[in-house]
Structure 1
Amino acid sequence: MDKPLHPGGGSRRLKLWELEHKCHCPVVGVCFDLKRIRQLVGKVMVTTPQTTDFEIHVTAVRESGSRSALAELLQKELERQYALAVQRFKRARSTDELTALWRDALAITDIAGPLWATLTHPRCTPDLVQTVYGDIHMLQHQVGAGERADLAVLRRLQQEKTELLGARNQLQDKLTALRQQHAREMDELRQQLAASREEALRQEQASARYQGELATLREHLREKETPVALARRAQQAESRYTALRARTSELEHQVDRLQKENVQLAEALTRQPPSPTMPDAPAPAADDALVGRCVLCVGGRTGAAHHYRALVERLGGRFIHHDGGMEENLGRLEGSIAAADAVICQAGCISHNAYWRVKEQCKRTGKPCLYLKTPSLSTFVRSLEQLAQPVAAAPIPCPSEKAAP
């Protein structure tokens, strides 16, 4: 068993400046975000807004190699920020237990706390330091590739969002203008309706007055005037009464027409145009394109296997999965390939050993195999569409392995 890294062989945890120099870069890069590391460096050194993030990072890594003022400040911040992870890793009494805790931590999203707790643990050996360094190095490669693909999708979605927001704002402006116009027209109609009602009331009152006068005249004529005079006055009264009735009827029709127009305008303005919708996500065209075929997926993002399964079963196929040697035994990979009719290899998420095993056996057995650089659902969907065609698409070459810096 390798000896621990502790300078004195004791049980105390290592300080930042006591770590191997190659560990300072991943510790500074993973355990601090850019904004926080700039603040800490600015407390002990002179920086300007023109100082780049890379220059800040290089300065922090250089100063971490000795017990400088910045190194002590970074040590204090790391101990404060990751106290819970350090406390959890204290229960490891041996290098094997510490290694097991580190392996468990690789499955979670936030790896900063476990990284600091592992490298500074008294039972951390040079072999374990090299293992942790290699894991972080490869994890940064995978995260960088995934972030580039995600940024492209994010930029496209942001552009679509901007366009949709612009269309929505235009519709809202039109709706606001229509509402204001409707309010003005409603006010005008209310004023016209009120004036019509007043006019109708005056006409009704005049009609009632004229009817009373007509009745009085008739009575008066019957008592005092000659039949000819009575007839003439009666005829005049009848004419005035008929004219008033006609005017009253005309006003009533006008009031009814204005009320109907008011109702029709209100109904038209309450109808709003439909909201724009986002385009549907891509999906395979046929639901039975893989009936009777078994599809093996090697690698892929953690937790996405159930999505892959649902897509394959939707096309009528059967799905099996192997994580590419991350946790599962590589010895089971050959049996999985033999049981499959086609293979989808997530080349960016598996070990190099697993990649060459898949490539060699698929070439030897003639199994169709697609190599995917980007572990996304949209890429997986496109690969299923290729497998569903009579002749499978040519394999996508895997990027060459890079040497560790």
Structure 2
Amino acid sequence: MCSQIIDYGFPSGEGRRRKKLWELDKRLHCSIIGTCLSMGDLRVIERRLSIAPLKGTSDFQIHGNFVVWAANPGPAAKHMHKMLDRRYGVAIRRFASISTPDELTRLWDKCLEEADIPGPYWALVSHPESTIEIIMPAFGQVHMLSHLVGAANRADIRRLSTLQDERDELEQNVRDAKRRLAEQDRHHRAMLYAHAAELQKLSEHVAATAPLKQQLEAAEYRVAELEQGVIIRSLRAETIAGRGDLKRAKQLARELTNRLEVSADENTALRKKLQDELSEKEAIMLECEALESVLRDQIDSGDCSERRSECLNSGLQGRRIVYIGGRNTMIPHLRTLVERSGAIFLHHDGGLEEQTKRLDRLLSQCDAVFCPVDCVSHDACLRAKRKCKQRATEFVPLRSSGLSSFVAGLRQLSQTLAAGQSALP
């Protein structure tokens, strides 16, 4: 890759088609395959073509074989060309609107500044207007970036130990949260049962007042029949006593009714509180499960960039994801997750430091928008939501600006996109 490139043999003029992979200078093939395709992609082509000599060989040998095959229009080169065009269709269409060398150079510099390399690099070298003066600087920049990526991988190994410690802490936090939620659930259920028993007792007390009323009516009837004597006085005394009992019974009935209404209101409030806590519990558990899945993938299988098609969010390849707001300390981690899923991460601080014009420009070019509701301006969030509705773009509100909410949002977006593709004829 370090050998000097003298001439690519690109003719000048207009109206030509894009170049095929095998039509490019063969000294470009190493950088194209190493930058724009992962080892997982090459393994997929290997299995599709049943290339026996590659089985059991090292990644370096597989890479070298595909670099050689890229120079000839055979099955391997054609599969690689189709995979590149399909994966980086967005970048190809973006570069297709460019017709002059100066515009090509400016667009490439912009993509390089945004850390958007694989798709724009393939679109640039295969563009019909690309010349040696355009490709040579881009080739050198990509070559130097490969050295920087190697250094970054060594830093990733050091971060892996830190991530393992964080994973253990998160697992303990999840276990503690599950235990607390279970205790709260048992407490709330016990309270519900106690209130139900109290309601039953109150209902029985109310029903017990009915015979008192019947007894009073019977006593009044007897008084009406008797006109004189001790019996009348006795019955009148009984009647007065019965009326007092009835008055007290009515008072007790009113008190019991009031207590019943208060208990019913408390029961309703407790049910709503329990439902809210269960919903929050379910959201937290889903976020924890998504985060645990990502951590397991990183720990069990190493660098996700080498098997991107098998990762958690494999349906996101080539997608441009805009993240609005959030905490600046989390942005590098979020960018890493998105790029390891094969997508493109773009960030806007929500208007605190950057102008809203750039936000509108990002929203007009993206495939999905993530917005943490706890760490973004209200105006920026509403603006993004309106734009997404106008353009039929996926809008994913996040419960918080934490890593677990972002991972859960990526999983939701991946499933939504996968469902939309499966519904197509």
TM-score of the superposed pair, with normalisation by structure 2 = 0.47
Q: Which structure is richer in relative contact order (CA contacts within 8 A, separation 6 or more)?
A: 2
Find the structure with the greater CA-based Rg.
Answer: 1
- Higher-helix-fraction structure: 2
